[in-house]
Amino acid sequence: MRALWILLRSRSAPLWLDCLIALLLFAAAGIWGAASWKRAVVNGQPFYYQLYFEPAVMIACGRGFVVTEPQVPAVVPFLRKQVDSFKCGDIPPVETRSAQTLTQGPWRYLMTAVGWTWRLFGVSWSAMAPLFGTLFGATVAAAYAVFRLGAGPLLAVLCSWAIAVSGLHLAYLPSLRDYAKAPFTLMLVFLLGLLVVRKATWKGTLAVSAAYGAVLGVGYGFRTDFLAEIPPFVLALAVLLKGGISRNVQLKLAGWPTPKSRKHIDLLSQIISTVARSAHGRLWLLGASAVAFDFGIQATLVAHQTIVYGIEPGARSRLNAVLFVGMFVGMALGAALGSVLLAQYCAAQPNGGAAIEVCSSLPAIR
């Protein structure tokens, strides 16, 4: 009965067992996903901006992350899916330019993944089954990790395999640009859950934070949508970490896990506390932090708009809209979180208001 309990419900199974199960799930789901993708695209592949995949062709042909100028005529029918395959020998000696500054720039990891798949299995739309299988297997393995946060190994396997055979899941598989987000998103969900359920320690929290940043960074190279995954991490770190909002403040604010940095944080706290003892000191701190915070916001806004207006006009309006929507949503969430912090922290600490204002202004000007 104890063994059955461990398999079904217990979260304390050995780490090696979880790693082995995740690996087996990755392999089995990868084979199943590749076969499912082949069946799904037998009558043609869906549209996922294949016209922009010229850098992937260049990578497959050993030219690097570039596009040709002018575009090679032979590659156009392939990118338009009028033909299934392309021969690298059809690329004549022409001028090339880096694709980093073009629309494909933020998709570098996606283009690289497709390019190396074609380099290994041939430049063909029908040769992409290994890539789709890898993404599918990684998604199912990441789902197992998420389920393991609250279930035993056997139950997590059953739940993750149910996702693997889900018709709705398989329906989204052929759309590469959208489906490529799936394994990274689930892994980020797992890391958020791990951050919440673990005991709040310097080593553990910083390790999970670093892993979250690494996964998010790689995912960003597939889809820029992953910028939206930053606020959930900040919210989980500030509010959901064990101990609540008012505890582990140094751990939440620390950017460098060294004893020296912790001394700097303590010194900053002492300075704020000393200055904020008088009403005039609190007023000066409040004014200085408000100016610094506003300066940080305006500098960030100008920097981001400079990037947006430096891209092609077709994508400029969409990204500018995303920028302002994200900014206003972030400001609304920040105002709500700030109200909670102010209410809870100031109730126990008279100088809490000034401390929160000063500390919150530092990331804005960093």
Q: What is the pTM of this model?
A: 0.67
Domain count, the chain: 1
327 found inside a domain: yes
350 found inside a domain: yes
Domain range holding 348? 259-365
**pLDDT score at 261:** 47
344 found inside a domain: yes
181: Cβ–Cβ under 8 A, 6 or more apart, which residues? 219, 222, 223, 225, 226
Burial 38-68 (b: 16+ CB within 10 A, else e): eebbeeebeeeebebbbbbbbbbbebebbbb
291 found inside a domain: yes
Section 122-151 average pLDDT = 94
Q: CA angle at residue 257 from 252 to 261, to 5 degrees?
A: 90
308 found inside a domain: yes
At 273, the pLDDT band (50, 70, 90 cuts) reads: low
**pLDDT score at 93:** 82
- Highest mean pLDDT out of 131-145, 225-239, 351-365: 131-145
Question: What CA–CA distance (Å, rounded) separates 66 from 59?
Answer: 8
Long-range Cβ pairs for the range 317-322 (8 Å, 24+): none
Is 80 exceeded by the pLDDT of residue 265? Answer: no
HSE (side-chain half, CA atoms, 13 Å) at 271: 9
Pairwise pLDDT comparison (364 vs 277), residue with the higher score: 277
**pLDDT score at 160:** 95
Is 90 exceeded by the pLDDT of residue 99? Answer: no
Rg of the chain over all Cα atoms, to the nearest angstrom: 25
273 found inside a domain: yes
Other CB atoms within 10 A of residue 6 CB? 17
Average pLDDT, the chain: 77
Is 90 exceeded by the pLDDT of residue 137? Answer: yes
**pLDDT score at 124:** 94
Q: What is the pLDDT of residues 2-44, one digit of tens each?
A: 555 555 555 667 888 999 999 999 999 999 999 999 999 998 8
In the chain, the percentage of residues whose pLDDT exceeds 90 is: 34
Q: What is the pLDDT of residues 42-70, one digit of tens each?
A: 988 888 888 999 999 999 998 888 888 87
**pLDDT score at 358:** 47
Question: What CA–CA distance (Å, rounded) separates 205 from 196?
Answer: 9
**pLDDT score at 276:** 58
Q: What is the pLDDT of residues 199-243, one digit of tens each?
A: 777 788 888 888 998 999 899 889 888 888 888 888 887 777 766
At 146, the pLDDT band (50, 70, 90 cuts) reads: very high
**pLDDT score at 120:** 94
Section 299-328 average pLDDT = 61
**pLDDT score at 161:** 94
Q: CA–CA distance from 247 to each of 167, 205, 221, 298, 355 (Å)?
A: 45, 14, 35, 31, 15
**pLDDT score at 102:** 75
Section 247-258 average pLDDT = 51
**pLDDT score at 281:** 65
In the chain, the percentage of residues whose pLDDT exceeds 70 is: 62
Section 168-182 average pLDDT = 92
58 found inside a domain: no
310 found inside a domain: yes
**pLDDT score at 302:** 62
Is 90 exceeded by the pLDDT of residue 162? Answer: yes
**pLDDT score at 130:** 96
Is 80 exceeded by the pLDDT of residue 183? Answer: yes
Supply 308's token pair: 């947006």
Section 315-340 average pLDDT = 64
